[in-house]
């Protein structure tokens, strides 16, 4: 981001922002209403830039373009190999622009610049390449149909896909949904979160450079109840892929049911347990569990927000976790020494602080942190509570901030029961040297991903999604392509069959 200028009054680096309009049918355009909205820099709370604001009329245009590209365009008709080549080109472009893109997410979402370059952007490119490789391996099955018939299944792209994503991982969320949909041969309308629209618009531009035809990827920044609802209730959208809160997931499912019964997949919130057994290496357990809750300032659906520690190592764990939390350096996400940037916006900042107050009022003990920090922007100290009970609000509700709830347990059975004592089921962490404990607990926790002696170990080949109210459908893995495919059975009579 060589053209960046210092801004925000505090010598902050602000990247150059090139794309602020809607991207529809291969062109950057103003909103039909001419309206724009502000996206703010969470380091200061200042306005970063104004972005065109999509509403229903714009979503209609985007869906029309996507429909035209689907029914008459090249993309669904070209070979999987050719689609894969274009996706590989897009992956190359993402890598080539990684610095600039990491800076955009940094200024828009408060994400660490250093990690954006080495985690988010390479992971986005990897996701694209994984599904680029899958694009020419999508095939049906031959069927045994009784009698004088033969049968096979055809996998066809589902059509126009609506993608509605949150602000915590603007880049990864975009490619988690868009990559398998592209591989399947679908056309897409993406509504990025209103807090973080900038990198998605940049990806639209790169997709055009990569030769992905006009109308295949459309990006319509705007608000949930307007642009988002226009997608989920649209009569001509065939499927909606959503990541966000359980509350909005429900709204989207209702809208899908009330309109055209479009297919829905939901990746929702979590209250993931991190379970640490007596035989664990305490230093490693502390490292993993602080990472699990403070990484990306706790703004991650799989955050290990409930930490269960077995009684034998509990006291040592609490002492060391408090020290570790104090070592997480909170500050400007563009500073290479920073471990934790600001919460994404004022709403989240206040929400997290409200939960901290609730935790204190409900009788949890504050071990460390608990306060805002810095003289401006949305920074919060890494926070740990102990003496948390399962029925407390901070043990049940997703805080989406750097707040760890610590609980003690005695037996493996008790740990399993407590770990499952939540409406969510997205992820779980286990720290133990015992293979038997690890296996038993892995099979017993109701969660879509279980990490044993690690956390946040992601791979494009590992399906990702939730049990219970964490949603349904999977991102990642070959299984994710199914969300973007129809299965058609073709049965043909064979009158002269010899058998």
CA dist list (Å): 92 to 96, 243, 325 = 6, 26, 37
**Residue 21 dihedral angles phi and psi, to the nearest 5°:** -105, 170
- Is 267 annotated as catalytic? yes
Residue 248: CB minimum distance to ligand ADP, A: 3
Residue 312: CB minimum distance to ligand ADP, A: 37
Residues 6+ apart with CB under 8 A from 411: none
Residue whose token pair is 């058998």: 499
40 forms beta bridges with 47
Residues 396-435 as x/- pattern, contact with ligand ADP by CB under 6 A: ----------------------------------------
Instruction: Compute the distance between CA of residue 311 and CA of residue 53 in angstroms, rounded to an integer.
Output: 53
**Residue 147 dihedral angles phi and psi, to the nearest 5°:** 90, -160
81-89, 226-234, 326-334, 473-481 -> range binding ligand ADP (CB under 6 A): 226-234
Residue 225: CB minimum distance to ligand ADP, A: 5
From 100, 194, 267, 299, the catalytic residue = 267
Instruction: Compute the distance between CA of residue 180 and CA of residue 130 in angstroms, rounded to an integer.
Output: 9
Of residues 117-176, those binding ligand ADP (CB under 6 A): 164-166
Instruction: Compute the distance between CA of residue 51 and CA of residue 145 in angstroms, rounded to an integer.
Output: 55
177 part of the interface to ligand ADP, by CB under 6 A: no
Closest CA to 440 of 416, 421, 424: 416
Among 232, 290, 305, 422, contact with ligand ADP (rule: CB under 6 A): 232
Instruction: Compute the distance between CA of residue 333 and CA of residue 418 in angstroms, rounded to an integer.
Output: 35
Nearer to ligand ADP, 165 or 367 (CB): 165
The dihedral of CA 126, 40, 106, 450: what is its sign?
negative
Residue 204: CB minimum distance to ligand ADP, A: 16
252 part of the interface to ligand ADP, by CB under 6 A: yes
Burial bucket for residue 106 (CB in 10 Å: 0-12, 13-18, 19+):
buried
Q: What would the two tokens of residue 113 be?
A: 């610049």
245 part of the interface to ligand ADP, by CB under 6 A: yes
DSSP letter string over 134-150? Answer: HGGG----EE--TTTEE
Among 191, 234, 297, 474, contact with ligand ADP (rule: CB under 6 A): 191
Nearer to ligand ADP, 109 or 407 (CB): 109
Residue 476: CB minimum distance to ligand ADP, A: 19
DSSP letter string over 8-48? Answer: TTTTEEE------SEEETTEEE--TT--EEEEE-TTT--EE
Nearer to ligand ADP, 248 or 340 (CB): 248
Residues 205-224 as x/- pattern, contact with ligand ADP by CB under 6 A: ------------------xx
Coil vs helix vs strand at 493: strand
Nearer to ligand ADP, 218 or 251 (CB): 251
Among 51, 91, 207, 229, contact with ligand ADP (rule: CB under 6 A): 229
Nearer to ligand ADP, 10 or 225 (CB): 225
First to last CA, the chain: 68
Closest CA to 55 of 39, 37, 31, 38: 31
22 part of the interface to ligand ADP, by CB under 6 A: no
Among 41, 194, 267, 381, contact with ligand ADP (rule: CB under 6 A): 194
Among 193, 274, 352, 384, contact with ligand ADP (rule: CB under 6 A): 193
Of residues 437-496, those binding ligand ADP (CB under 6 A): none
Residue 210: CB minimum distance to ligand ADP, A: 24
Nearer to ligand ADP, 165 or 321 (CB): 165
The dihedral of CA 84, 86, 92, 98: what is its sign?
negative
Q: Which residue is nearest to ligand ADP (CB)?
A: 224
**Residue 120 dihedral angles phi and psi, to the nearest 5°:** -60, -50
Binding residues for ligand ADP, rule: CB under 6 A, are 164-166, 191, 193-194, 223-225, 228-229, 232, 244-245, 248, 251-252
> Catalytic residue numbers?
267
């Amino acid at each position: 981001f060589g053209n960046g200028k210092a801004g925000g009054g505090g010598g902050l680096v602000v990247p150059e922002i090139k794309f602020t309009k809607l991207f529809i049918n291969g062109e950057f355009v103003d909103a039909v209403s001419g309206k724009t909205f502000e996206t703010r820099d969470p380091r200061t709370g200042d306005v970063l830039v104004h972005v065109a604001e999509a509403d229903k009329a714009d979503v209609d245009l985007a869906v029309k373009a996507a429909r035209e590209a689907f029914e008459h365009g090249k993309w669904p008709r070209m070979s999987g190999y050719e689609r894969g080549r274009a996706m590989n080109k897009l992956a190359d472009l993402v890598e080539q622009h990684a610095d600039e893109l990491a800076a955009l997410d940094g200024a828009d979402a408060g994400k660490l610049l250093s990690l954006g370059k080495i985690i988010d952007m390479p992971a986005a490119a990897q996701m694209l390449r994984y599904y680029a490789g899958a694009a020419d391996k999508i095939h049906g099955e031959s069927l045994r149909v009784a009698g004088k018939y033969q049968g096979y299944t055809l996998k066809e792209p589902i059509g126009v896909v609506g993608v509605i994503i949150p602000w915590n991982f603007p880049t990864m969320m975009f490619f988690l949904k868009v990559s398998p949909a592209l591989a399947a041969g679908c056309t897409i309308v993406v509504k990025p979160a209103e807090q973080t629209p900038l990198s998605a618009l940049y990806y639209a531009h790169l997709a055009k450079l990569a030769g992905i035809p006009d109308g295949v990827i459309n990006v319509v920044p705007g608000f949930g109840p307007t642009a988002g609802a226009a997608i989920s209730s649209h009569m001509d959208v065939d499927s909606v892929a959503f990541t966000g809160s359980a509350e909005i997931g429900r709204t989207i499912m209702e809208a899908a049911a009330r309109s055209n019964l479009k297919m829905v997949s939901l990746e929702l919130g979590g209250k993931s347990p991190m379970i640490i057994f007596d035989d664990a290496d305490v230093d490693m357990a502390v490292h993993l569990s602080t990472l699990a809750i403070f990484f990306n300032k706790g703004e991650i659906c799989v955050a290990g927000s409930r930490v269960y520690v077995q009684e034998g190592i509990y006291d040592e764990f609490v002492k060391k976790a408090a020290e570790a939390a104090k070592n997480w350096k909170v500050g400007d996400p563009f500073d290479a020494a920073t471990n934790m940037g600001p919460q994404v916006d004022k709403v989240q900042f206040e929400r997290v602080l409200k939960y901290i107050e609730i935790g204190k009022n409900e009788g949890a003990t504050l071990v460390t942190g608990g306060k805002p920090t810095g003289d401006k922007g949305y920074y919060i100290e890494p926070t740990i509570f102990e003496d948390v009970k399962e029925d407390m609000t901070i043990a049940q509700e997703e805080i989406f901030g750097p707040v760890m709830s610590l609980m003690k347990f005695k037996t493996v059975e008790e740990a399993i029961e407590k770990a499952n004592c939540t409406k969510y089921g997205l992820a779980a962490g286990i720290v133990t040297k015992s293979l038997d404990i690890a296996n038993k607990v892995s099979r017993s926790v109701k969660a879509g991903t279980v990490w044993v002696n690690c956390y946040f170990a992601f791979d494009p080949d590992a399906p990702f999604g939730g049990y219970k109210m964490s949603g349904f459908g999977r991102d990642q893995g070959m299984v994710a392509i199914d969300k973007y495919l129809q299965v058609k059975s073709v049965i043909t009579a064979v009158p002269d069959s010899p058998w």
